[in-house]
């Protein structure tokens, strides 16, 4: 996954991507916080946030480790890292830093007490490459926490043909670009195959009648539009029509839209 690989990432960056990440962070904050608590007290420790994007979870980890600890966010996308560095500087967080690197190659980080990765394994042709680097970075007995999606588990009420089509198109684009849009359902097996022990898993799935998951669904479809056109999976007219239908469905107060089924998994380095 070199820098050239960014062009194969199915979800658009820029302002659309930034808006999407902000909403996503709000929706997932409660369940991700509970996941982080599985690692126990982190004060004074070193944590790595892999595929950190704009740093939403990196900042949460910084609060957990406190000023005597250290958090490093790593990602390939310099634009997102720029947002994160600016925010860290504005908050005066000297124990937090962001490094640009290929998450499937050697990480420019010290040994760590915790590795966290959310929604990154789904985009990788070979997730084991990332997990190999995680094992190298972790101290013996240290913990890895991961979260990833099963897009096929998304639901609406009532049925929404537009959102069903959007999910199908996302899965097709992800697979065309070398990802696995349902990796969540085998996340514990992926950790076991990488050699982690004491592996466990659970599922969370936020849903909304207003905002929240509805906004994430609409923003995600908007962010994959360019990729769908580039791969010949949908025309501009198709995308515009589906977007209108999603907006109409989401505007109704009697409809429900969920996030993808999100699997949380954990394990320890031997």
Considering the domain boundaries, does residue 19 fall inside one? yes
For 100, the domain range is: 3-151+179-206+260-268
Q: Give the separation between CA 172 and CA 127, rounded to whole angstroms.
A: 19
pLDDT tens-place string over residues 36-72: 999 999 999 999 999 999 999 999 999 999 999 999 9
Confidence of residue 9 (pLDDT cuts 50, 70, 90): confident
For the chain, helix (H) and strand (E) counts, in that order, are 8, 10
Considering the domain boundaries, does residue 47 fall inside one? yes
Q: Give the separation between CA 29 and CA 41, rounded to whole angstroms.
A: 18
Its pTM stands at: 0.94
Mean pLDDT of the chain: 95
The pLDDT of residue 7 is 60
Considering the domain boundaries, does residue 165 fall inside one? no
**Residue 4 clears pLDDT 80, i.e. is over it:** no
The mean pLDDT value for 135-156 works out to: 98
> Which CATH number covers residue 196?
3.40.50.150
Q: Where is pLDDT greater, at 109 or 256?
A: 256
Tally the domains of the chain.
1
Q: What burial letters (b/e) apply to 223-260, b meaning 16+ CB within 10 Å?
A: bbbebbeeeebbeeeebeebbebbeebbeeeebebbbb
The pLDDT of residue 12 is 78
The mean pLDDT value for 85-97 works out to: 95
Considering the domain boundaries, does residue 102 fall inside one? yes
The mean pLDDT value for 242-269 works out to: 99
Q: Where is pLDDT greater, at 22 or 58?
A: 58
Considering the domain boundaries, does residue 74 fall inside one? yes
**Residue 8 clears pLDDT 90, i.e. is over it:** no
Considering the domain boundaries, does residue 168 fall inside one? no
Considering the domain boundaries, does residue 221 fall inside one? no
């Amino acid at each position: 996954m070199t820098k050239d690989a960014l062009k194969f990432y199915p979800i658009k960056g820029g302002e659309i991507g930034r808006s999407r990440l902000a909403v996503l962070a709000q929706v997932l904050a409660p369940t991700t916080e509970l996941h982080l608590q599985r690692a126990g007290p982190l004060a004074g420790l070193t944590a790595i946030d892999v595929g950190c994007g704009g740093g939403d979870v990196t900042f949460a980890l910084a609060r957990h480790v406190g000023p005597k600890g250290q958090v490093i966010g790593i990602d390939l996308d310099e634009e997102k890292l720029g947002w994160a560095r600016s925010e860290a500087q504005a908050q005066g967080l000297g124990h937090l830093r962001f490094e640009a690197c290929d998450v499937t190659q050697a990480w420019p980080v010290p040994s760590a007490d915790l590795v966290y990765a959310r929604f990154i394994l789904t985009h990788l042709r070979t997730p084991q490459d990332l997990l190999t680097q995680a094992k190298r970075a972790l101290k013996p007995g240290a913990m890895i926490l991961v979260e990833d999606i099963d897009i096929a588990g998304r639901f609406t009420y009532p049925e929404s043909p537009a959102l069903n089509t959007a999910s199908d198109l996302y899965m097709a684009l992800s697979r065309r670009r070398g990802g696995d849009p349902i990796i969540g359902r085998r996340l514990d097996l992926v950790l076991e195959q990488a050699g982690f022990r004491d592996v466990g898993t659970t599922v969370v799935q936020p849903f909304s009648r207003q905002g929240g998951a509805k906004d994430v669904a609409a923003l995600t479809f908007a962010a994959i539009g360019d990729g769908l056109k580039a791969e010949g999976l949908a025309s501009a007219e198709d995308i515009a029509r589906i977007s209108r239908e999603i907006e109409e469905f989401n505007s109704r107060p009697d409809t429900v839209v969920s996030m993808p089924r999100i699997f949380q998994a954990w394990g320890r380095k031997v």
